[in-house]
Structure 1
Amino acid sequence: MLERYDCPMPYHAVRTHFLGAMCATEPVQPMKTLARIWDGALPAFASIEAVNELLGALINGLWNELTVHQDEGHPYRLMTFPARATRESLACLAETRTEELKGFLTGVFGDQVNLEVPEPMGESLDTLMELDGIFSGMQALLEDPEKPASAKDLEGLRKHITKLTAIAEQEIHAVVLGARVLREQIGALEEKEGSAVH
């Protein structure tokens, strides 16, 4: 469906973007979140049925599937594929990780430049931003034919990417859980304030 409407964001990044949007401190606006995956403007639809089909697939389908990751026992896993220790394969993997992390971060931040979140959640977001930069740098290095790399170097890099992927998954999980707790605290505070008004 994303291909049908020429979505510039790949599916793996759409998934992390939606997961990030669930962690946003601002109230979630599904249509705005959807528009972001098309660079801010929804595509043209032939009919209202086409709009409903897209909403059904992405919001009622994918979005609802991702809510399970708000449970402590169901951490989100980044896309897996067997990367060989070659420049091309590792560059593709680094690019995928960059897209996933950018998707998550743009989902969390939305239109905001800064967020006020508890310190542990903020530290996890900082780590994810650093990892995004690292993966992006790896991709650029691997795609540069002027930079030599031996088979041993590439195998070491493959293992390093695996370790960094595990860290990224842990930090994403920490943000998702932190956002859930934050929402619960805000909800409890609003409920308390509402009951205090007579």
Structure 2
Amino acid sequence: MMQSSAVAIHQHVQSLLSEYQCPYQFHEVRAAFMGAIASPYVVDPLFELNALWDGEFPELPSQEKLDEVTKTFLEDFWGLLAEHASEDAVMPFMLTSLEKATSLNELIAHAQLRGEELDAFLTGFFQDQESLELDEEVGESLDILEELVQLYTNMVNMEKGTALDVSELSDLADNLLKMTEMAELEMNNLIVSCA
């Protein structure tokens, strides 16, 4: 699928999330769908769509609008993400692109977004199952992602007025970028191993 087509699909999804007041942001929805696609469990895409509104699917004004929402989310967007799980996938799954943080507030905002992405991915992956019997490599990837969520949470919970000199801030921002690389590596391990 061409890059411009992917951008158009992303924009359409974002506009529908906004129009129908979805409580989740685009980066969370994208990660949750990718987690569901990667899940070793049987996944119902329609259930995943409904879950975006916490089971209270919005009332749509017409059948035409319902068709638009289901096609956009379950054919276009789901299909675009599912390409990452195909055997001949050209591109690995990437998290939201972020520049290196240059202030404490930006660092905290980036950590919050990353934590939300990983949390959504794991929610989609686990499909409300209490226990997973997965092979060791998959278990290790999941453990690393859960540890990263905790590290992001720790960053988000830093005191807003924490005094950091320029080099400390730069080191933390570099760590955030390295954590993103680790997260993407482990997520793609899961996508390839389980989907």
Task: Please report the TM-score for the alignment, with normalisation by the length of structure 1.
Answer: 0.84
Which segment is superposed worse, 88-97 or 78-87?
78-87
Q: Any gaps of 5 or more consecutive residues in structure 1?
A: 181-198
The 4+ residue runs of structure 1 with deviation greater than 6 A are none
In 2, Cα distance between the equivalents of 1:113 and 1:147? 38
Aligned with residue 70 of structure 2, among 49, 55, 77: 55
- Counterpart of 1:119 in structure 2 is 136
1:12-161 pair list within 5 angstroms: 12-70=27-85, 71=87, 73-141=90-158, 144-161=159-176
The Cα shift of 1:54 comes to 0.7
Once the two structures are superposed, what CA deviation does each residue of 1:24-73 show, in whole Å capped at 9, x if it has no partner?
Answer: 22211112111222223322222222221111111111110011211454
Preserved contact between residue 145 and residue 186 of structure 2 (Cα < 8 Å):
yes
Q: Which amino acid aligns with 2:168?
A: D
- Count of matched residue pairs: 178
Identical residues among aligned pairs (%):
32
Quote the RMSD (CA, aligned, Å). 1.5
- The structure that has the greater radius of gyration is 1
Preserved contact between residue 35 and residue 42 of structure 1 (Cα < 8 Å):
yes
Task: Please report the TM-score for the alignment, with normalisation by the length of structure 2.
Answer: 0.86
The Cα shift of 1:146 comes to 4.3
In 1, Cα distance between the equivalents of 2:177 and 2:65? 40
Which segment is superposed worse, 34-43 or 11-20?
34-43
Q: Any gaps of 5 or more consecutive residues in structure 2?
A: 1-15
Q: Which amino acid aligns with 2:110?
A: L
